[in-house]
Amino acid sequence: MTPLFAIGAAPLEVDRIAATLAGAASDSADSDGAVVTFLGLVRNHNMGRRVHYLEYEAYEPLALKAFERIGREAAARWPDARLALHHRVGRLEIGEASIAIVVRSPHRGNAYAACRYAIERVKQIAPVWKREFFDGGDVWVEGATANPDDEGARAEAERLACA
Amino acid sequence: MTPLFAIGAAPLEVDRIAATLAGAASDSADSDGAVVTFLGLVRNHNMGRRVHYLEYEAYEPLALKAFERIGREAAARWPDARLALHHRVGRLEIGEASIAIVVRSPHRGNAYAACRYAIERVKQIAPVWKREFFDGGDVWVEGATANPDDEGARAEAERLACA
Amino acid sequence: MRVTVRLFARLRDITGAAELARDTAPGATIGEIWRDLAREFPELTGYERSISTAVNADYARMDTRVAEGDEIAFLPPVSGG
Amino acid sequence: MRVTVRLFARLRDITGAAELARDTAPGATIGEIWRDLAREFPELTGYERSISTAVNADYARMDTRVAEGDEIAFLPPVSGG
């Protein structure tokens, strides 16, 4: 059985993740009216550079805890929404999916919001790094300083989720 | 080859719809960083009634034109986002998907917005009707008076898309 | 002048027909066709303010004039998605 | 007192090691361990204000005290998703 939260090197299987989520609360699944899915794909360019491929690295046990935390935050904010989140690590080619987030809810508004919130929070607090390999070199991409207790960052994720 | 816009009785195949969308502009597909998917599911209850199943009916040629119009509206508002939209008709059981919308874009914000916009516009202007079969009877659900030229409704869809 | 009238969802239930052939005066508007139909099926009257209409599978207005052979559709409030 | 230090992404490139064993005084804080490391690898200094840190795979603060056998992680700004 695929878990709700995972990080690893295997290609992401959205159908299996969605099936796990549907089965995770089979008594309430029949009252869900919306499924919103987000896939993050490896792009062939970034900041003007032509990208050949990416390598993702993670502090896996902490990443898993961060995903579970994001799930709890989303459940606190949108109690009727349920979420699954898988992240991939290792070498990823252009067009491959690095992250899959699936949300089910009785109502589409909450499903969209919780799904968007989750990806914003991943980018803020998940201990995952991507290394870009481009023409003539490579670089570790560095985004946000991870701080799960930064309420300003959390509020910004909620704002982007249009909640 | 699955078309980008379709309406019919066959079960919705999200993977094929997504593959069509990825292939529809294969030169730009490699610059897409986000795929957002919406599935509308048949719920087991509505307005306090226990629903047994639904029947969807459509004025199919006009529905198809409405979907294409929604695609053009989304492309005008989010030029880097591309959209596929399939709606199902006929009898649908609890938990089955009545609509699938897939959006690809270089940027996740536009993918979320265009996807949400599209489902709101479907509910406003697609000539599709659902009949609910519940304990002790059935009823045609009636929502919005369809008027594609109603700019107020269109602006409301954009507002819900958090654009 | 002969036109085809198509009816959907509850409008179809009220008239008992998904499709009707109707004769109408040259230059008639969709609104005139609707009002004739509502005289024939009084239960339709309640939909006067909430229906949409189409000619040959394109949205139209009640004051749109119809031509020989046109397919006129009357659409109750929609509930897709 | 012996602890394990884990380093990720560019911090790992700078130190040349994903994992280091370090001896430290009892009651040392994570910040003290970091500053020792930055003396050893001066290129780390630029990260002082942007790193996060964890103890035994839970987020922690620079003033968190460490214990024998703890796994301390230093995390440069993240870029997942």
Tokens read off for B68: 């294409």
Nearest to D10 by CA among A44, A143, A48: A143
Q: What is the pLDDT of residue A48?
A: 86
**What distance in Å separates the CA atoms of residue B156 and residue A12, rounded to the nearest whole number?**
35
Q: What is the pLDDT of residue C79?
A: 98
**The pLDDT of residue D77 is above 80:** yes
Architecture of domain D2-75: Roll (3.10)
Residues from chain B that touch A109, judged by Cβ atoms under 8 A, are 160
DSSP calls for chain A: ---SEEEESSPP-HHHHHHHHHHHTHHHHTT--EEEEEEEE--SEETTEEEEEEEEEE-HHHHHHHHHHHHHHHHHHSTT-EEEEEEE-EEEETT-EEEEEEEEESSHHHHHHHHHHHHHHHHHH--EEEEEEETTEEEE---BPP-TT-HHHHHHHHHHTT-
C34 interfacial to chain B (CB closer than 8 Å): no
**What distance in Å separates the CA atoms of residue A20 and residue A7, rounded to the nearest whole number?**
15
* Residues making up chain A, counted from first to last: 163
**The pLDDT of residue C32 is above 90:** yes
Q: What is the pLDDT of residue C41?
A: 98
Note whether B72 and B64 are within 8 A (CB): no
Average pLDDT over every residue of D13-31? 97
Tokens read off for A103: 């949300």
Q: What is the pLDDT of residue D1?
A: 94
Long-range contacts of C30-33 (CB under 8 A, 24+ apart): C30/C55, C30/C60, C30/C61, C30/C62, C30/C63, C30/C64, C30/C66, C30/C72, C31/C62, C31/C63, C33/C3, C33/C5, C33/C66, C33/C72
CB contact under 8 A, B128 and C13: no
Which candidate from D59, D73, D81 shows the least CB-CB separation from A98?
A: D81
**The pLDDT of residue B48 is above 90:** no
User: B54-93 pLDDT, tens per residue?
Assistant: 999 999 999 999 999 999 999 999 999 999 999 999 999 9
Which candidate from A40, A87, A142 shows the least CB-CB separation from D76?
A: A142
Q: What is the pLDDT of residue B1?
A: 76
Band of residue C59 on the pLDDT scale cut at 50, 70, 90: very high
Residues from chain A that touch D79, judged by Cβ atoms under 8 A, are 123, 128-130, 140-143
**What distance in Å separates the CA atoms of residue B34 and residue B104, rounded to the nearest whole number?**
6
CB contact under 8 A, C79 and B142: yes
Distance from the A1 Cα atom to the nearest Cα atom in chain D, whole angstroms: 23
Low-confidence ranges of chain A (pLDDT < 50): none
Band of residue B163 on the pLDDT scale cut at 50, 70, 90: confident
CB contact under 8 A, A129 and D80: yes
Domain boundaries, chain C: 2-75
Distance from the B61 Cα atom to the nearest Cα atom in chain A, whole angstroms: 26
Q: What is the pLDDT of residue D31?
A: 97
**What is the three-class DSSP state of B148?**
coil
Residues from chain A that touch B94, judged by Cβ atoms under 8 A, are 30
Share of chain B above pLDDT 70, in %: 99
Band of residue B32 on the pLDDT scale cut at 50, 70, 90: very high
What is the domain range of residue A93?
Answer: 5-161
Which candidate from C8, C58, C77 shows the least CB-CB separation from B143?
A: C77
Q: Which of B12, B15, B26, B38 to mutate to test the interface with A (most CBs of A within 10 A)?
A: B38
Band of residue B29 on the pLDDT scale cut at 50, 70, 90: confident
Residues from chain D that touch A148, judged by Cβ atoms under 8 A, are 59
Tokens 């991409």 belong to residue: A141
**The pLDDT of residue C55 is above 90:** yes
**The pLDDT of residue B135 is above 80:** yes
Average pLDDT over every residue of D7-36? 97
Domain count, chain A: 1
- Chain A residues within 8 Å of chain D (Cβ atoms): 40, 56-59, 61-63, 65, 87, 98-99, 119, 122-131, 140-149
Complex confidence, ipTM: 0.96
CB contact under 8 A, A32 and B41: yes
Provide the CATH number for the domain around residue B22. 3.90.1170.40
Band of residue C67 on the pLDDT scale cut at 50, 70, 90: very high
Q: What is the pLDDT of residue A24?
A: 85
Tokens read off for C53: 């209409």
Nearest CA in chain B to C56: B62
Residues from chain B that touch C10, judged by Cβ atoms under 8 A, are 140, 142
User: D50-68 pLDDT, tens per residue?
Assistant: 999 999 999 999 999 999 9
User: B84-131 pLDDT, tens per residue?
Assistant: 999 999 999 999 999 999 999 999 999 999 999 999 999 999 999 999
Q: What is the pLDDT of residue B57?
A: 98
- As beta bridge partners, residue B94 has none
